[in-house]
Amino acid sequence: MTYETIDVQEMSPACGAIVEGTDLSQELTNRQFDEIYDAVVDRVVVVFRDQELTPEDHIALSRRFGEVQPSAVSAFEKDESFPEIDILEYDADNPPHVTRDLWHTDFAGTEKPSWGTLLYARDIPPGGGDTIWVNSVAAYEALSDRMKAHIEGLWAYHDSYRPYGEHVRPEMYEGDKGTDYIRDKRAQYTPALHPVVRTNPDSGKRGLFVNESMTTHIQGMDRRESDYLLRYLFDHLRTPEFQYRHKWRANDLAIWDNRTSLHYALFDYADHRLMHRIIMQGDVPRA
């Protein structure tokens, strides 16, 4: 893809791009915005370097992309003055538990998973804390025709609370940590059912839409069949050739397309790491 208003440096054949020289605190022209949007869909994740953004700038930029999902729905800390922003802050006293080594797509366990995320790096540890994305279209396309035929038309259940299970986040269940609140919410919650192969409406491309963190089982399959098939797909989605691993710098702003990607935040640091996150409301996934 060629661009006229942004300088897009592709980072791996499968996905990832870095843009330098664009100031996102300024109002974008329609042309610039369209090119940024196309780059996000094409590259799955685009990181803009050297951004000096106030929370207001971050919110205004996100709104160009559509409807912001209130951060109230996530388990992250909030900034009271900016209810759109999730605060992801970790250090040695408060170690990360973003994914607990599980790949995921944001809000897959809801009827309308977020279409994308705008994650702004405020403080980055001197070593570690990278994030990896995988292009699920590349993963789908690399399957054999026999496997594609096998998974065609399948639907899978996604459980938003699975990443908060006792075996995943034991620290949340120690002592009195308000866990009853989670148990209550979980009791009210119905897992989401989505197609295993999802079409990105912007590109028309199809990608695998299952993730290790939340996808529990495939509809209409025997449990062992479902377990084996999902385990294979999770494993396939970990293939390095489908990935881009980003080494963050403070003031990076990443925008990713959640519809055809998974990501994984590495938990390999103890120094301070602070990210501001805005989540974009998405649509019902279509096969």
The answer to whether the beta carbons of residues 237 and 139 sit under 8 Å apart is: yes
**Binding-site partner at residue 22 among ligand OGA, Mn ion, none, CB < 5 to 8 Å by type:** none
- In the block, which residue shows the tokens 């996000």? 40
Residues facing residue 76 across a β-bridge: none
Task: Tell me whether residue 32 or residue 243 sits nearer to ligand OGA (CB atom).
Answer: 243
Of 31-39, 98-106, 159-167, 178-186: span binding ligand OGA (CB under 6 A)? 98-106
Distance of closest approach, residue 278 Cβ to Mn ion, in angstroms: 12
**Binding-site partner at residue 11 among Mn ion, ligand OGA, none, CB < 5 to 8 Å by type:** none
**Nearest-CB residue to Mn ion?**
106
| Residue 274 tokens, joined | 């602070």
| Residue 26 tokens, joined | 């300024």
Task: Tell me whether residue 131 or residue 211 sits nearer to ligand OGA (CB atom).
Answer: 131
Instruction: Report the run of H or E that residue 229 belongs to, with start and end.
Output: helix 223-237
Distance of closest approach, residue 128 Cβ to Mn ion, in angstroms: 17
| Residue 23 tokens, joined | 């100031």
The yes or no reply on residue 252 touching Mn ion (CB under 5 A) is no
- Report how far apart, in Å, the C-alpha atoms of 78 and of each of 26, 87, 237, 263 are: 25, 6, 31, 22
The yes or no reply on residue 265 touching ligand OGA (CB under 6 A) is yes
Task: Report DSSP state, residue 27.
Answer: P
Cα(231)–Cα(265) distance, rounded to whole angstroms?
A: 20
- Report how far apart, in Å, the C-alpha atoms of 79 and of each of 38, 67, 140 are: 30, 19, 38
Amino acid at the residue 59: I
Distance of closest approach, residue 69 Cβ to Mn ion, in angstroms: 13
**Phi, psi at residue 217, to the nearest 5°?**
-165, 165
The yes or no reply on residue 45 touching ligand OGA (CB under 6 A) is no
Task: Tell me whether residue 218 or residue 237 sits nearer to ligand OGA (CB atom).
Answer: 237
Site for Mn ion in 86-115 (CB under 5 A): 106
Distance of closest approach, residue 32 Cβ to Mn ion, in angstroms: 26
Cα(174)–Cα(195) distance, rounded to whole angstroms?
A: 36
Number of shown-chain residues binding ligand OGA (CB under 6 A): 11
The yes or no reply on residue 275 touching ligand OGA (CB under 6 A) is yes
The yes or no reply on residue 118 touching ligand OGA (CB under 6 A) is no
The catalytic residue positions are 104, 106, 263, 277
The yes or no reply on residue 255 touching ligand OGA (CB under 6 A) is no
Task: Tell me whether residue 137 or residue 275 sits nearer to ligand OGA (CB atom).
Answer: 275
Which residues, at least 6 apart from 35, have a Cβ–Cβ distance to it below 8 Å?
3, 4, 5, 6
**Phi, psi at residue 5, to the nearest 5°?**
-110, -5
Distance of closest approach, residue 26 Cβ to Mn ion, in angstroms: 28
Binding site for ligand OGA (CB under 6 A): 88, 98-99, 106, 117, 119, 131, 263, 265, 275, 277
Binding site for Mn ion (CB under 5 A): 106
